Amino acid sequence: MQYNVISADNHILEPRDLFMTRMPKEFRDRAPRVMRGADGGDGWSLDGKPPSRTFGLEATAGRAVQVSGYKWEDILPGNYDPDAHVADMKLAGIDAAVLYPTVCLSAYDLPADDFGLALMKTYNDWLLSDFVAADPKRLIGLPLIPVNHPVEVAVAEVKRCIEKGARGFFIPAFPKIPYIDQHYDPIWAVAAEAGTPVSLHRQNGGKDPSGGFAGQLSAPGMAVAGTVIRYFAGVTPLTSFIFSGMFERHPKLKVLEAEVNFGWAPYWMFQMDQCHGQQDNWNSFPFSKLPSEYVGENVFVTVLDDEVGFPMVKDFPKLAEMGLFSIDYPHSVCLWPDSMSYVDKVTKGVDPVAKAKILSGNAERIFNLN
């Protein structure tokens, strides 16, 4: 298949009855479900009580932007139906999409028990056997790795999903054991050998040990301040992955950080290399290359309409190696349905070879699409 534009960061809402009908019977009374909220909209309930927030910003494509209050019937079927999702992408000139989860992210906040594992496996099975199977050349789903469970359980799930056709995986931003711990090496080894990248998405998944913006979101402006800050969410994990020697131990492993743009990346690469050079006389670094050499080889990011980053591609060619274009369907900042107008605007003056890498080539390369 010819890929011209791939969105490396789309989202889907799990079907409203998925967990109630497909989780093992002993868990269905506790399964997440869609319920009516106090504002008259629908939302996911994780405890059998009305949801604290109903659908809004996370499903706003094609609708007037609102924080919450949508009923299930108000949101586009492309949120949860694969054929509708493909149709929406074709409408916007998008040839394929990488898919991130929604409600099942809550599993990373749960105890690492049989219920949490069943929640993830139910999603993974539906994602690969139902959603992606509808058009596997255009839909690239990211099953969840149960990283908080015993490592042998996580490895078994990765292998199971690879056998079902997984081309990549999702990991939470905040695991219970930091990723720099070599505890995870068996997981990385399997993913690297299979050529399946692992992806984080901003600060999604798990509990931020710093507390993040908890308790501050109601203050005027702070919700949007959080959005700004999350564009820089990739700096900490990607720097840690590089400096911990993860890619020295697993040179084939690829890590993608979604929805962070790349206008900040030239300074980041400069600072990594400078600090590496300045401190090399006393620090035994567990890797053999310059930190920036792992960028575009092992480390990648997704970019939207980054009006700062795209013009920098000429002077900083690493950006063309590390960036994967995305439209963030169906969230509030999504570049849909007029995706091609954004593409034309931000890539104006970008070298055609670099442009092709960002729009599709890098995604084809790391997700093995051809």
- The predicted-structure confidence for 101-147, as pLDDT tens digits, reads as follows 988 999 999 999 999 999 999 999 999 999 999 999 999 999 999 99
**DSSP class of 37:** -
> 292 and 273 in contact (C-beta within 8 Å)?
yes
Q: With a cut of 90, say whether residue 226 has pLDDT above it.
A: no
In a domain, 30, yes or no: no
In a domain, 42, yes or no: no
The pTM score is: 0.95
Q: How do residues 321-353 score in pLDDT, each as one tens digit?
A: 999 999 999 998 899 999 999 999 999 999 999
In a domain, 44, yes or no: no
Confidence of residue 213 (pLDDT cuts 50, 70, 90): low
Alpha-carbon span 70 to 128, nearest angstrom = 27
In a domain, 330, yes or no: yes
Q: With a cut of 90, say whether residue 98 has pLDDT above it.
A: yes
Reference 319, options 287, 273, 351; nearest CA is 351
Counted domains in the chain: 1
Which residues form the domain of 314? 82-365
Residue with tokens 């539906």: 126
User: What is the CB neighbour count within 10 angstroms for residue 112?
Assistant: 17
> 12 and 103 in contact (C-beta within 8 Å)?
no
Write the CATH number for 93.
Answer: 3.20.20.140
Alpha-carbon span 333 to 325, nearest angstrom = 14
What is the mean pLDDT of the segment spanning 17-42? 96
**DSSP class of 222:** H
DSSP secondary structure of 72-96: GGGS-GGGT-HHHHHHHHHHTT--E
In the beta sheet, which residues pair with residue 6?
96
In a domain, 71, yes or no: no
Residue 356's pLDDT is what? Answer: 98
Alpha-carbon span 249 to 81, nearest angstrom = 40
Torsion sign, CA atoms 238, 273, 308, 338? negative
Angle between helices 185-194 and 151-163 (to 10 degrees): 10
Residue 217's pLDDT is what? Answer: 53
What is the mean pLDDT of the segment spanning 195-217? 81
In a domain, 65, yes or no: no
| Average pLDDT across the chain, whole number | 94
How do beta strands 6-11 and 42-45 pair? unpaired
Angle at 16 between CA 13 and CA 22, to 5 degrees: 105
